[in-house]
Structures are given as C-alpha cells and as structure tokens.
Structure 1
Amino acid sequence: MIGDKEIRTIAGSFQAQGRCIDCMPYGHGHIHQTYLARFQTDHGVRDYILQQINSAVFRDPPAMMENILLVTSHIRQKLEAIGCQDIARQVLTVVPDATGMPYYLDERGRFWRMYVFVEDSMAVEMPQDCRQVYQAAMAFGRFDAVLADLPAARLHQTIPAFHDGRARLSQLMEVLRSDPLNRAIQAKPEIDFILGHSRILLEPSELLNAGAIRPQATHNDTKVNNVLLDRKTGQGLCVIDLDTVMEGVWLYDLGDILRTTCSVAAEDEQDLTKVQICMDRYKAAVKGFIEGSQGRIGPDQYRYISLSGQFMALIMATRFLTDFIAGDRYFKISRPSQNLDRCRCQCRLVASMLQQAEQIDAVIASAV
C-alpha cells in the first residue's frame, strides 16, 4: 500500500503546475492504479490524473508511452488544422516528469505517468440512455477516422495478439490443461459454449487475411467509460485509455462499444435474465460509430457489423474465463468468481445476439 506522503512525492516528480496537496484513488479501472492528484497554484487548484502503470500487463511501459505521444500528437495536429479552440479538452495531454520523459520511474522500479485532468467532463460506467450510447460511439468512430492516416506500423504492439481469436483460444486451452486451482469444473457450461462457438473467434482474422477489411490504428478497448462526455452538453468529448492503441480493424472498436452498451446489465451481473440486448441502444451505437467514421466504413463493410459485436463479446468471455481458471491474475476482482460471472454475461450476450440475428440485421439496416 502506498502512503500519502509517498504518492504526493511521486506526483511532485512530474512537471505539473504548483505543489501537490492531495492524491486520492480515482475511477474503476481494471488494470492500473489511478489517482486524482490536486496541485495548488497561484490561480487556484489544478487537477491531474496520476497512474501507476501495471507493468505485469504492459511489459514495456516506455513503448506504450511512445505510442500515446504519437497518437495524441497526431490528433492534436488534426485539431489545430481545423482551428479547434478547445484542444485541451478533446485530446489527452501527457505531463512529462522532471527530466522530460513521458513517464516517471521510481526507486522501486515502478512506472508512473500523468495527464492533465479534462475539466467539466464525465465518464459513465453504464450509459443512462441512447443519447450517451450514440455520443460515445460517435467519439470512437471519429477517433478511428482521425487515425486512419497514421501508419499503424509505427505503433508498438503493447499487448501482442490482443484481439487474436486463435491466440486467445490457445491460451484458454493451455490453462484448462493445467487447471492450477481446479476451477474448470465450475465453468463447464461456459467452456462448452466458447468452444462450440469458436468459429466466431476466427472470422475477423480470416477477413483481414482475405483483404475484406483493412488494418489501421485502432483503440482496441472501446468501453463506454473510455470516452469523456461534456458535463454540460453530454457530447462525446475526448477518448481516453490509449494503452492499447495499435494496429487493428474497425470491427474491434465497433464491436466493443456494442458489447458494452447494448445491454442494460452490468458486465458482472449475476442474474443472467437481465442480460438482454436493447435494440434501441444497439441502433444508437451503430449509427454513432458509422457517422463518426466519416465515410471510412462503406456499405460493402456493413455486412460485418453484427459479427463485430459477437466477436468482441466472445473474445472477452474467453479472456475472463482464462483469467478465472488461472487464478484472477489479469482483471481486478472485488469478490470471488467475479471473472466467471463476467464470462457468463458475455456468453449470454453472444447467445442473445445469435438468437436475435434477424432483428439485429433489420436494426443495422435502419441505422446505416
């Protein structure tokens, strides 16, 4: 546990304005330890986001921060070119440490980073209505469109094979063979479901290899809480959590916003009868993302929209299950079997998508 004095000293190692007066835990992220750092300046209190980077997940923090600097600089240049007057609220600003590096390495070998806090913004864990779904989806579609001309080959692979369905299946099979905590018996229906629908996990890579979809720089973690909304207008403002921005395909980004918004149930809901697709939300997500993409996704690509949601829900089910069997090493948990519950929700979501395929196709047609 990091003490107050130590965390304030770490915050003070960055080139933030003023003197650090407080640091408190902030947000609900699964991976990093995040704090709201408050600094006293001559003009009042200014806030920053301070994070201890989870180097067990992101094995090369300097490479990850190099990606983030490249992406944020690219976006900032695009905003400047169109005369945007609110750039500081529409793209993250990395605060360097005292030596000018985009991260701070403390004496214990821990990596830290700092961002300027985006004022008058909010993130929602669960969207309250279709408008929030639409705004978040549009922000991600716009994000991908802005990065379309950034050579994806310049980006480091911060998590190799992140959305590689074949690799995720192999990881699941490997941990099932060892079953270190004898947990597989608790998850037999989920194991059977994932293996029985494994074809879905292979389709995006086959489409990519066939040239049916094109690679580009994508976000790859488009949960609704990774978009900051304007607190006053509710409009999508700034895409955050850029750790996994690397080469991908638009299917990943649309699919993840679909899986995290088209059901009103929480990601770890234990009552699976609540895990239902809301067609109005599904339509709002598709419409927002396609409009945000500014024509980058053409009619010839629309046939893959339904696959995007199925794929991302199933690959997350696979990851949650793998982590549960392995002993909850990757995703943070607050109670026993939480990762198994997360897996069950994703399996239920895939099943619902497949059962309502005709209705979903009609919704997609009306949205695009």
Structure 2
Amino acid sequence: MIDDESHIEDVAHEFAIAGEFVCGEEVYSGHINSTFMATFKRPSGKVNRYILQRINANVFKDPHAVMRNVEMVTRHINWKVLRVKRDLGGQTLNLYPARGGRFYAQGEGGGIWRCYNFIEGCQTYDIVENTRQAYQAAQAFGSFQDLVSDIPVEDIEETIPDFHNTPKRYQRLMEVIEADVKGRLASSMPEVEFIRERQAIVSKLLDLKDAGVIPERITHNDTKINNVMMDTETDEAVCVIDLDTVMPGLALYDFGDLVRTAVSPAAEDEQDLSKVEVRMPMFEALAEGYMNGCDCLSDAEIEHLAFSGILISLEIGIRFLTDYLEGDVYFKTQREAHNLDRARTQLKLVEKLEECEPQMVDFVARLAKARR
C-alpha cells in the first residue's frame, strides 16, 4: 500500500514524466482502484499534474489484460479523433510509458500501476445538476461507442467474466442468500423479495443478444456520470475516463447505467429514499444526447433504451445487496451497512423507473422517428 508522498514519488518516477516531483496526494474517487495525483515542475517553471492508478487485482484478476485493452482503445480513439473526426477541441486519455517501453509499471510491494495525463480545467459530477450536463455526458458516451464500433469484438479481452450477466448476478445473490455467511439476511428481506418479484426480466437483454436481435459490441461498461470529464466553465464534455471495464458487452447496458446515475437527484448511497425520483427532462436529455452521439445503434437497441435503465438499476442493486450479504468484499465502504443503503437506493430507482417507463418509451419513439 502507498501511505506517504515518498511512495507516490517512487511510483511516479517509473514513468516518462519530465521535471521534478513536487507533491502527491490520494484522490478519493471510485469504488475499485487506488488513485493518486502527482505534481511535477519543469525547469521552465511550468507545473503539470498526472494521475497514477494502481489496478485492483482482486477485481481484475488479469491486470495485464486490462492494460492491453486500455492501450488498444486509447490508441484507436486518439487516431480516430485526429484522422476521422478531426475534432481537436476534445481530449482523450493518454497513457505514459514506463521503463522498458511498457505502459504499466510494477509498484513497490506488488501491483500494476499506470499513468495518465491529467486534463486541466475539468471536473466530474456525481449527480447531474442540469439537462445540459446530462446531454453532454450522454453524447460523450454515445460518441465513445461510435468511435470503438469498428474494433473487432474478439480483439478486446473480457477482463471480468460475465460482468453484465444479470441472470448470473441474480443466481449468485440467491446462493448468497441461502448461505447468509454474515447473518445479515434478516435486515434485508424486503430488498430480497423486491428482486425475486422481478426475476422474469433479468435475462431479457441477453436473450435478445442470443437471438441475434441486438448485437454484441465493444462497450464501456461503467457509464456513471462521473466517468465523463466536463469543462468547468462550459459544462461541455471533454473526455470519457475509467476504461478498465471496456470489453465486449451491450450498448443498452451502457445507456442504462447512464440513466441509473443521472435521472435521480439522489446520491448512489442516499439513505432518505424519498429523495429518489425520475427527472423526465434528464432522461430526455440522455436519450437525445446518446442517440445523437451514436450513429451505429440499431432499431432494436433504440426500442429497448427505456427498459435498459430499469434492468441496469436492478442489476446494480443486486450487486450491492450481494456484497452486503457477503460482508462487503468487493465495493469500498465508509460506514456500517453502506452497501445495503446503496442497494435500497437502486431498488427504489427501479420502482420509480417502472412507473415512468411508458413516458420514456414514447419519447424515445418520437426521437427515433425524427432521425429517420
């Protein structure tokens, strides 16, 4: 573990960073990897900042495969932005080479580290504040999907098997419920029953894929709103980040996660469930932005955009509840029953989205008709 600035400096010096190390600090964001910011000063006096991340090997069993995927995707996007879209206003993540020419380094005490450029003048949002932010984030993820749509699916490795396999997530929860190794089941029975009542929908999207109705694509797989860097002055989307989960998947899961993280003003771990609601203007901005950014969506994918938010919210609720019952072994927690609070928030959102589904379906249909 890194516990002081000297360790951050040691890791930073493994990468091709010019200048003198000034300081380092931990960045507390995300549930999985450990993230640090390193500041360097060049002889000219210019100060640059860099992001150092240690890949969580408990989650990503093959961190080298993660790095191969990230390297391929960032190179492809950089090439396409410059050569195809010629959009020099946007920025993409760039990996810095380590000693020996690789794009990762072995840290002290083990662990795989990588170094990214820090994009100045940007920020992320955990909760969407307005429809402009929602539209921009959705367009950014839609454009990301479009940019990687011509990478052969077989060229990208599956780094977390069955990551968005909702039926298997459901089955795992049932096994954990049966075992109840931490004696926590009694405190979560209403959530368990809510999920059981929706067993019939957990395989809907994968059934469509298996039937050839919707395609498998290279997808981001973690399209939380805070994985888009926004310009602090204009709220314009600048860069999609957190590419560790890029692998074969469904575009509908990506859009569904956008809905999950943007339509409600409540935080992901909100304990006051009365704050969980569906802001229809936010959904409309997401749908319009994503469809405008992603030209490759099929009619069948568009038809199921509204449903995708319900399913991914249910899936994430299942994952949080599973982790709670297992003893908080996957997601980072900051308090007792943190994962149970997260699960309750997600399941309340499922309920609210189900109520709004007819309106969402109608809006997407009107968008689809207008773009024909």
Gaps of 5+ in 1: none
- Is 1:182 equivalent to 2:176 in the alignment? no
User: How far is the alpha carbon of 1:180 from its aligned partner?
Assistant: 1.4
Counterpart secondary structure, 2:203: helix
Superposition TM-score, scaled by structure 1 size = 0.96
The answer to whether the 8 A contact 1:200-1:310 is kept is: no
The answer to whether the 8 A contact 1:284-1:367 is kept is: no
Structure 2 match to 1:305:
305
The answer to whether the 8 A contact 2:214-2:298 is kept is: no
- Is 1:336 equivalent to 2:336 in the alignment? yes
For residues 208 and 87 of structure 2, the distance between their equivalents in structure 1, rounded to whole angstroms, comes to 40
User: How far is the alpha carbon of 1:245 from its aligned partner?
Assistant: 0.4
1:57-76 to 2 correspondence within 5 Å? 57-76=59-78
State, as a whole percentage, how many aligned pairs show the same letter: 39
AA aligned opposite 2:107? D
Structure 2 match to 1:109:
110
Q: Which range is displaced more, 133-142 or 176-185? A: 176-185
- Is 1:354 equivalent to 2:354 in the alignment? yes
CA change 1:83–1:169 in 2 (3 A) is: closer
For residues 288 and 340 of structure 1, the distance between their equivalents in structure 2, rounded to whole angstroms, comes to 32
The answer to whether the 8 A contact 2:37-2:49 is kept is: yes
User: How far is the alpha carbon of 1:84 from its aligned partner?
Assistant: 3.3
Structure 2 match to 1:158:
159
For residues 82 and 176 of structure 1, the distance between their equivalents in structure 2, rounded to whole angstroms, comes to 50
Counterpart secondary structure, 2:161: coil
User: How far is the alpha carbon of 1:300 from its aligned partner?
Assistant: 4.1
For residues 300 and 250 of structure 1, the distance between their equivalents in structure 2, rounded to whole angstroms, comes to 11
For residues 57 and 278 of structure 1, the distance between their equivalents in structure 2, rounded to whole angstroms, comes to 33
User: How far is the alpha carbon of 1:362 from its aligned partner?
Assistant: 2.8
Q: Which range is displaced more, 120-129 or 322-331? A: 120-129
The answer to whether the 8 A contact 1:165-1:201 is kept is: yes
For residues 196 and 259 of structure 2, the distance between their equivalents in structure 1, rounded to whole angstroms, comes to 22
Summarize deviations over 1:262-303 as a string: whole Å, max 9, x none.
111111111111101000001111111011102x12444322
User: How far is the alpha carbon of 1:79 from its aligned partner?
Assistant: 1.3
AA aligned opposite 2:256? G
AA aligned opposite 1:306? A
The answer to whether the 8 A contact 2:214-2:300 is kept is: no
Structure 2 match to 1:90:
91
Superposition TM-score, scaled by structure 2 size = 0.95
Structure 2 match to 1:214:
215
For residues 255 and 12 of structure 1, the distance between their equivalents in structure 2, rounded to whole angstroms, comes to 40
Structure 2 match to 1:119:
120
User: How far is the alpha carbon of 1:25 from its aligned partner?
Assistant: 1.2
Counterpart secondary structure, 1:311: helix
Structure 2 match to 1:47:
49
AA aligned opposite 1:199? A
- Is 1:143 equivalent to 2:144 in the alignment? yes
Report how many residues are paired: 366
1:214-253 to 2 correspondence within 5 Å? 214-253=215-254
Structure 2 match to 1:199:
200
User: How far is the alpha carbon of 1:8 from its aligned partner?
Assistant: 1.1
The answer to whether the 8 A contact 1:124-1:225 is kept is: yes
Structure 2 match to 1:365:
365
For residues 116 and 360 of structure 1, the distance between their equivalents in structure 2, rounded to whole angstroms, comes to 38
The answer to whether the 8 A contact 2:303-2:365 is kept is: no
AA aligned opposite 1:150? I
The answer to whether the 8 A contact 2:8-2:36 is kept is: no
For residues 82 and 148 of structure 1, the distance between their equivalents in structure 2, rounded to whole angstroms, comes to 13
The answer to whether the 8 A contact 1:279-1:363 is kept is: no
The answer to whether the 8 A contact 1:220-1:246 is kept is: yes
Structure 2 match to 1:267:
268
Counterpart secondary structure, 2:36: strand
For residues 253 and 300 of structure 2, the distance between their equivalents in structure 1, rounded to whole angstroms, comes to 17
Structure 2 match to 1:292:
293
Structure 2 match to 1:167:
168
Summarize deviations over 1:119-138 as a string: whole Å, max 9, x none.
22211111111110110000
For residues 188 and 100 of structure 2, the distance between their equivalents in structure 1, rounded to whole angstroms, comes to 49
The answer to whether the 8 A contact 2:221-2:246 is kept is: yes
